[in-house]
Amino acid sequence: MGKKGLSKVDLIFEKVDPKEVLTKAFKMTSDGIIKEMLDSGLKGRGGAGFPTGLKWKYTAAEKEPVKYIVCNADEGEPGTFKDREILDKVSYKVYGGMAIAGKAIGARNGIVYLRGEYRFLLPQLMKELESFHKMISEIGYDFKINYCLGSGAYICGEESALFESVEGFRGEPRNKPPYPTTSGVFGKPTSINNVETLVTTMMIIKHGAAKFTELGTKDSRGSKVFSVSGDTPTPGIFELELGMTVQEFVNEFGDGDTKAVQVGGASGFCVPRKKFQNTIIGFEGVPTGGSMKLFNSSRSMYNVLHNYLDFFVEESCGQCTPCRVGCQQLLKGVEKVKKGEVKSTYLNELIKLADTMKIASKCGLGQSVGNAFRTIVENFREEIIY
């Protein structure tokens, strides 16, 4: 690497003096911090891409005296591992982002929800948290963070399921509205942000919104940490400027034989070779929480799809029928097509089912199963059938 190629950025992992940035932030008004976030154009890095400044603005506007800032460190999307690296390397910047968010929305309490699979990190993270608490009390600011640990459930990354889990219940998503900004964890106004989003907010305070908007495109400002895996000579974690095409990405990370890239994990989109050139990675094209999986021509896209559907059958919380039954039917359906038990046109029925799930499912899990399903089936129909 290091070829002309993609522009590397070092914002997330860059060492900063947290005391300096936080002292600056705590001198700003709540409105001032929120304006900086709005000006930066930052959108959430957890997948959904909601503007962070707006989320903070809505939560700040709530009158309730007790509010929470929650850091979503559940990172369960297949192919995503950047939040683990961020917590491992720069947890103080995650805590810093939470304190800044706290100042902006008026919250004194933060909760980090860490997936159970990352429990090995906890002793180190707690130690770093202790130093952090000490540091902010030296600045004279009152803010406290606690950890909650998950126990192996992908759905707990969905914000309202995460709240249920924190409160000690089954991780079943709630109806929306009310949105978390009005009624989140413990029924209090809550801003829930992804690990990387929080680190980015700290860097926006440090460098200023104007500097941040120099990077990326109109719809996808800034840079982003990507988790690269699959058929690539250089798997790993890379921070890149937003706005590249899938082709540019493949030029850098492909093995010369890339036939498809799955952008955004099992709930994301499959981009086939013929669309590499015209597909932008970002909110104007295919969005991603960071998961980038490359597949070369030796891979069966049937196996890929089957693996994803298996994942959703297991991870659906089962609370609503379209998703619970839909996931099972999609899996059974592609198996039947493969075995030749039904005509290949049955795939069209299955795509209709996936579309129905998008409309009728209660949460983002059921709503996004169709993304991978449709894009894999449409682009690799022969591989699914034969």
Partner 1 sequence: MYQVGNLVKELSDKHGRARESLMPILQGIVEKHNYLTDEAMVEVARELDISAAEVYGTASFYTFLDTSVRGKYVIRVCKTITCSMKGKAEIIQTLEDMLKIKVGETTSDKMFSIVETNCIGWCHKAPAILINEIPYTELTPEKVVEVIKGYMQKKIITGTHGEKRAK
Q: Which two tokens stand for residue 253?
A: 């990370």
Contact 297, 312 (CB under 8 A): no
Q: Which stretch binds ligand SF4 (CB under 6 A): 8-16, 257-265, 285-293, 318-326?
A: 318-326
* Binding footprint of ligand FMN, residue count (CB under 6 A): 22
| Binding stretches for partner 1 (CB under 8 A) | 75-81, 84, 88, 115-121, 148-154, 165-172, 227-231, 235-237, 266, 293, 299, 303-304, 307-308, 311, 314-315, 317
Task: List the alpha helices (DSSP H) in 10-51.
Answer: 18-27, 30-40
To the nearest 10°, report the CA torsion of 168, 148, 227, 1. Answer: 180
331 binds ligand SF4 (CB under 6 A): no
Three-class SS of 104-163:
HHCCCEEEEEECHHHHHHHHHHHHHHHHHHHHHHHHCCCCEEEEEECCCCHHHHCHHHHH
Residues 260-299 that bind ligand FMN (CB under 6 A): none
Q: Of ligand SF4, partner 1, ligand FMN, none, which one sits near residue 48, judging by CB under 5 to 8 A according to partner kind?
A: ligand FMN
215 binds ligand SF4 (CB under 6 A): no
Rounded to a whole number of angstroms, the minimum distance from the CB of residue 255 to partner 1 is 13
Quick one: which H or E segment has residue 291?
strand 291-296
CB atoms within 10 A of CB 140: 8
Contact 194, 72 (CB under 8 A): yes
Q: Tell me which of 319, 371, 375, 379 binds ligand SF4, using CB under 6 A.
A: 319
Residue nearest to ligand SF4 (CB): 366
Q: Which stretch binds ligand FMN (CB under 6 A): 25-33, 150-158, 244-252, 296-304?
A: 150-158
Residues 15-54 that bind ligand FMN (CB under 6 A): 44-48, 50
Instruction: Please name which of 305, 226, 232, 292 lies closest in space to residue 262, comparing C-alpha atoms.
Output: 292
Q: Tell me which of 157, 189, 282, 333 binds ligand FMN, using CB under 6 A.
A: 157
CB atoms within 10 A of CB 169: 10
Q: Which stretch binds ligand SF4 (CB under 6 A): 13-21, 190-198, 264-272, 361-369?
A: 361-369
Q: Which stretch binds ligand FMN (CB under 6 A): 32-40, 270-278, 336-344, 357-365?
A: 357-365
Q: Which two tokens stand for residue 41?
A: 């154009």
347 binds ligand SF4 (CB under 6 A): no
Nearer to ligand SF4 among residue 76 and residue 96 (C-beta): 76
Distance CA 156, CA 286 (A): 24
316 binds ligand SF4 (CB under 6 A): yes
Sign of CA dihedral 119, 121, 124, 126: negative
CB atoms within 10 A of CB 188: 19
* Binding footprint of ligand SF4, residue count (CB under 6 A): 14
Instruction: Please name which of 239, 195, 206 lies closest in space to residue 52, comparing C-alpha atoms.
Output: 195
Q: Which stretch binds ligand SF4 (CB under 6 A): 33-41, 129-137, 299-307, 313-321?
A: 313-321
Residues 167-196 that bind ligand FMN (CB under 6 A): 192-194
267 binds ligand SF4 (CB under 6 A): no
Q: Which residues bind ligand FMN (CB under 6 A)?
A: 44-48, 50, 72, 74-77, 155, 157-159, 192-194, 197, 363-365
